[in-house]
Amino acid sequence: MTTPTTDLSPAPAERRSWLRDHSELGVCVLLLMLGVLVLTDALTMDVDIAQRGPVGPKTVPVVVGAGLLVVAALLAVDVVRGGRGQAETGEDVDLSEPADWRTVLLLTGVFLGSAVLIEPLGFPVAGALLFWGAAFALGSRRFDRDPLIAAVVSLVAYTVFNNLLGVPLPGGPLMGVL
Amino acid sequence: MNALTSLMDGFGTALTPINLLWAAIGVLLGTAIGVLPGIGPAMAVALLLPVTYGLDPIGAFIMFAGIYYGAMFGGSTTSILLNTPGESAAVVAAMEGNPMAKSGRGAQALAAAAIGHFAGGMIGTVLLVALAPAVAELAVDIGAPDYLAIMVLAFIAVTSVLGSSRIRGLASLLIGLTIGLVGLDQMTGQQRLTFGSLQLADGIDVVIVAVGLFAIGEALWVAAHLRRRPPEPIPVGRPWLGRDDVRRTWKSWARGPFIGFPFGAIPAGGAEIPTFLSYVTEKRLSKHKDEWGKGAIEGVAGPESAASASAAGTLVSMLTLGLPTTAVAAVMLAAFQQYGIQPGPLLFEREPDLVWGLIASLFVGMVLLLALNLPLAPVWAKLLHIPRPYLYAGILFFAAIGAYAVGGEVIDLVTLLIIGLIGFGMRRYGLPVLPAIIAVILGPAAEQQLRRALQISDGSVSGLVNTPFSVTVYAIIVLLLAWPLLKKVVTRRRAEH
Amino acid sequence: MHHVAHVTRPHRALRDPQTIDRQVVAFVRLRTPLALLGAAVLVLVGPPLLTTGSGTETGTQIPGLRFMVPNTPGGGYDITARTAAKNAEDAGLTHNIEVFNLPGAGGTVGLSRLVSEHGNGKLAMSMGLGVVGAVRSNDAPKTLADTTPVARLTEEQDVVVVARNSPYKTIDDLIGAWKENPGKVPVGGGSSPGGPDHLAPMLMARAAGIAPKQVNYIPFDGGGELLASILGNKVGFGVSGVGEYLDQIKAGELRLLAVTGPERVPGLDAPTLQEAGYDVNFTNWRGIVAPPGLTDAERDQLIALIEELHDSEEWRASMKQNGWDDAFLTGEEFGDFLDAEDKRVVSVLKELGL
């Protein structure tokens, strides 16, 4: 909790750090929005079928939506009172340093980009880009090795799925040309 | 005919060199394909259907049985090592198995899973031989109110996995329930949370949710906090189960089948709910409660044993009633029909050689599976020695190919990423992932059974408690809930005396 | 990067060290582009070389033909497609037809995909009455009118069944009780609302003078789960495909009250609904459609392949095994039939308010 200060100048900084300390309130906002979304969806659903008994297609969504609102409120109270969720620890996780948002954004971008490229460029190309891009984002800088590894992994996976198992994957722009 | 003599005849069929070979090939292929992401046992059996076309029916079904069990085991391998479950029954294996693998006990986790599959399959198949007709009759008597009662019990059990902060556990549970709502309403076909998208009409597959929350969420989380100093290699540890491990797990192996088998046999059963119930049971009974979530070996052994036994249970309903209770059973049923054989009440009379040969080959397949996978466990576990960037890049790659290969839709990858980002946020703010996944499994099932029960009773609420089975389950629930209170009263009385 | 120099060091003594160093540096510089080039070649040229599109396009041979199944493995369309593919290969009509599943929303996800593959002559989708219903009940953007109709292959009557120990001995018993209190006689079916097992009891209700909205229909996940509920008397009666329950009926576990089609099923002792005085004529059917925008030649080739398949020994044997009735209809005629079915489905669903 912050203590009110008489000096005005550090107030914005302080407010920012209060928000940073209570960034978990963002989770409450998200839960609240999700609850509103679920409730709106449920209440705008037009049910034109003879319903038997007290439970129809709207009932469960209404219960879940209301539950989300209640939990959002309770969590907000908990956070303001000083409760904090324990960030997950793990072998490869170092919580002593602040989160590296660049890597996360890079990974997300690589994943999305590859997903979009599957149809035009084929799975082997998109898959290789995904593998290489992810390895790059995670700190691997072997430009003379990584692309080859990525290409081989992607091509082998493609062959196993497409040729051996008969699960069709798009092959790329050269299919049918060669 | 006496079941035992028939079974002996069955072994005569199954142990011919050629059928032994088919069983071995089936187990190998099943494991190899089950390991692949996105390809669960149902898909594996469907894909390998053409391989068996040249065989006689007995050889083909012996091979199928091998594929089925092999694929189930293969699914848990990726679940344990890479946190990417290949199918819904393997989701639970990731919960304790992956932390074990991370702390260098991957080989033990795999061994516990392999022996669990063996034990579950063996006990399950013995139950199949002994109880098939009785179980089949019972399965028919289980109706919507009974399922609902079991689901309520399962939801009560969820409270024990909510984690240290109840409110955050509940938030996670509700997120899962919301994801479970997406799709067409099963009873009336109303669109719920689909925003008009047909791709969302069948809901979001629990495997996509699990892979997103586990694998993608974790890869992103690790990316944000990757240790900058050179990582210590994951310790290899002993490749085999120690005496201590066995002492902790043998009871779990033995308990699993009695949870898994009945669920496999009943029409809406499957393997997800029993694996979860087994997990919760093991957690309750464990003497090492502090290890849960960080790699408790019982949490791998019990559920895997339950999953394998539920596969045996599935065969009971399929062979005796012609009732496919899971997707795999539906595919196998189709395969039976390819050979002009109709599983069902007349099967045991019409095709005794085939049925008993198949049952005997289940035992054979189980032995082969264990013999194959136990030595391989340490080899698989070496997978984790790959440098971190490649390891996590590989997890992302295989998660993506798994999600894409199933339907060939780019939107599935986008869904996967969004769920991955949710998983990332949940890790950041200490929301446990487990309740969300369980809610995705249980929520829609519970709603469906609730509404089905009400429809059968034409809207009367008494329809929820009009069977002896459901009343019994609710009584158990009341006892469980009242137990802490009763205990307090009893101890206070004692203190007064 | 030092390891490269390390590897080449043994040669150093042999030549002038400076030129060697320059070569090494040049090689090191080249390694990244080389790796990139190698990777690009692998992923671009690999797939076409690995996938041998061998076989020539003569007669019924359509190299690289794929069947899409718009529901999950083990379902009705899946079995039809896989059986047809296998029979066509066995009969030597074409090589290796690839079957793949794209399930979702009662088949409409697969349908959208098919329609988007405009002009693809190497793709076909197995489908049936269920897809017609799903298009309407889901308000799908693409309908079967957007496809190229190839052929209707099989049809199957629905059966009205109850458990052995059910109080309803005849179809009149059942409909009498049903009319009296539709809510108390829940109907189980193996398909979601809009599907064949839903339409059949609705048509029955209409013929018996029950408002379809009064019908207490309970959908189950396929015939298997439904079977348990019928056997356990959880539902008043069940409606599903005849092939699904043939064995249980023969074993006496299920009592067959009526069949929904125009003729009795040989070997089964039950009247048609029409014989019993209820004007219902309902058969479920399955067929094959192709993407829009095919050339006439492409369409005719697909139809020729299916015609050859239909005439083959292998297909006849499969139909007998699966209990399917022949309902062969190709091209335009099949297209007209699709239109008629669509209109029928729309009229039923409108009454239901779906």
Give the per-residue pLDDT at C20. 58
Q: Which two tokens stand for residue B315?
A: 């065969």
Complex prediction ipTM: 0.87
Q: Which of B389, B408, B458 sits opposite A139 (nearest CB)?
A: B389
- Residue range A167-174: mean pLDDT, rounded: 79
| pLDDT at A5 exceeding the cut of 60 | no
pLDDT 10s digits, B477-492? 888 788 778 877 877 7
Give tens-digit pLDDT for B299-313. 889 999 998 888 888
Assigned token pair, C263: 């003729």
Cβ proximity of C88 and C97 under 8 Å = yes
Q: How far apart are CA C300 and CA B7, in angstroms?
A: 54
Judge whether residue A38 has pLDDT over 90. yes
- Segment B280-294 shows an average pLDDT of 82
Q: Do A85 and B394 touch (CB under 8 A)?
A: no
Rounded to the nearest angstrom, the minimum Cα separation between C103 and chain B is 7
* Torsion angle, alpha carbons of C67, C71, C74, C75, to 10: -110
- Joined tokens for residue B122: 């063996």
Rounded CA-CA distance B369/B387 in Å is 30
Confidence band, pLDDT 50/70/90 cuts, at residue A178? low
In total, the C-beta contacts within 8 angstroms joining chain A to chain B are: 228
Task: Indicate the average pLDDT of chain C.
Answer: 82
pLDDT at C340 over 80: yes
Distance set, CA C219 to CA C189, C190, C238, C240 (Å): 5, 6, 10, 11
pLDDT beyond 50 at C7:
no
**Rounded distance, CA C131 to CA C110, Å?**
10
* A94 vs A133 pLDDT, higher one: A133
Please say if the pLDDT value at position B446 is more than 70.
Answer: yes
Q: State the smallest CA–CA distance between residue B470 and chain A in angstroms.
A: 19
In degrees and rounded to multiples of 5, residue C119 shows phi and psi of 80, 5
CA nearest to C184 within chain B: B458
Question: Is residue C1's pLDDT more than 60?
Answer: no
Question: What average pLDDT does the segment A151-177 reach?
Answer: 81
List the single residue in C32, C66, C353 with the smallest CB-CB distance to A144.
Answer: C32
Asked which of A46-50, B40-44, B387-391, C137-141 is least confident by mean pLDDT, the reply is A46-50
Q: What integer pLDDT is reported at residue C69 of this predicted model? A: 87
Domain ranges of chain A: 12-47+56-80, 101-164
Give the tokens for residue A19: 């928000």
In angstroms, the CA C68 to CA C75 distance is: 13
C189-215 burial, b for 16+ CB within 10 Å, e for fewer?
bbbbbbbbbbbbbbbbbbbbebebeeb
Q: Give B240 or B476, the one with higher predicted confidence.
A: B476
Report CB contact under 8 Å: A178, C49. Answer: yes
What is the predicted pLDDT for the residue at B418? 94
Per-residue pLDDT tens over the stretch B320-331: 777 777 777 777
Residue B268 has pLDDT above 70, yes or no: no
Inform me whether the pLDDT recorded for A142 exceeds 60: yes
Q: Which of C87, C96, C101 to mutate to test the interface with B (most CBs of B within 10 A)?
A: C101
pLDDT bracket for residue A176 (50, 70, 90): low
To the nearest whole Å, the CA of C300 is away from the closest chain A CA by: 23
Q: List the single best residue of B48, B200, B447, B455 to mutate versus C (max C Cβ within 10 A).
A: B455
Report the range of poorest mean pLDDT among A110-114, B187-191, C212-216, C249-253.
B187-191
Q: Flag if A131 and B394 touch (Cβ within 8 Å).
A: yes
Chain A contact for C45 (CB, 8 A cutoff): yes
Distance from CA of B325 to the nearest CA of C (A): 7
Residue C199 predicted with pLDDT over 80: yes
The pLDDT score that the predictor gives to residue A132 is: 92
**Angstrom distance (rounded) from CA B111 to CA B375:** 9
How far apart, in whole angstroms, are the C-alpha atoms of residue B303 and residue B278?
5
Instruction: Give CA–CA dist B496/A175, Å, rounded.
Output: 85
| Yes or no, beta carbons of C247 and B324 under 8 Å apart | no
Domains of chain C with bracketed CATH: 2-44 (no CATH), 66-155+286-352 (3.40.190.150), 156-283 (3.40.190.10)
Using pLDDT thresholds of 50, 70 and 90, give the confidence band for residue C12.
very low
Chain C touching partners, 3 or more CB pairs below 8 A: A, B
Q: Using CB atoms and an 8 Å cut-off, which of residues 94-123 of chain A contact chain C? A: 122
Residues 6+ apart with CB under 8 A from B81: B98, B101, B106, B110, B380, B381, B383, B384
User: Which two tokens mark B93?
Assistant: 């294996």
Average pLDDT, chain B: 81
pTM for the model = 0.79
pLDDT band at B269 (very low <50, low <70, confident <90, very high): low
Nearest Cα to Cα of residue B426 among B213, B229, B139? B213
What tokens were used for C344?
A: 């029928």
Q: Rounded CA gap, B60 and B81, in Å?
A: 31
Q: What percent of chain A has pLDDT over 70?
A: 84
Return the number of other C-beta atoms located less than 10 Å from residue C152's C-beta: 24
pLDDT at A109: 94
Distance from CA of B445 to the nearest CA of C (A): 12
Position with higher pLDDT, A149 vs B57: A149
Cα separation, B140 vs B342, whole angstroms = 19
What confidence tier does C265 reach under pLDDT thresholds 50, 70, 90? confident
Is C30 within 8 Å of chain A by CB?
no
Query: DSSP of B16-70, one letter per residue?
Result: SHHHHHHHHHHHHHHHHHHHSTT--HHHHHHHHGGGGGGS-HHHHHHHHHHHHHH
Residues of C in contact with B331 (CB under 8 A): 73-74
> Cβ contact (<8 Å) for B49 and C354?
no
A13, A117, B139, C109, C143 from C115: Cα distances, Å: 57, 21, 43, 10, 9
Return the structure tokens found at A4.
Answer: 């009110």
Contact of A63 with A78, CB cutoff 8 Å: no
Residue type present at position C280: V
Test C229 with B143 for CB contact under 8 angstroms. Answer: yes
pLDDT level of residue A40 (50, 70, 90 thresholds): very high
pLDDT for A29? 93
Least confident of B25-34, B366-375, C219-228: C219-228
Closest CA in chain A for residue B44:
A165
Task: Answer whether A128 sits within 8 Å of C38, measured CB to CB.
Answer: no
* pLDDT, tens digit (0-9, with 9 covering 90-100), for B70-106: 888 888 888 888 887 767 778 888 888 888 888 888 8
Give pLDDT tens digits for B2-59.
Answer: 677 888 888 888 888 888 888 888 888 888 877 776 667 777 777 776 666 667 778 8
pLDDT for B196: 76
How does pLDDT run across B156-203, given as a tens digit for each residue?
A: 877 767 777 888 889 999 999 999 999 888 777 778 888 877 778 778
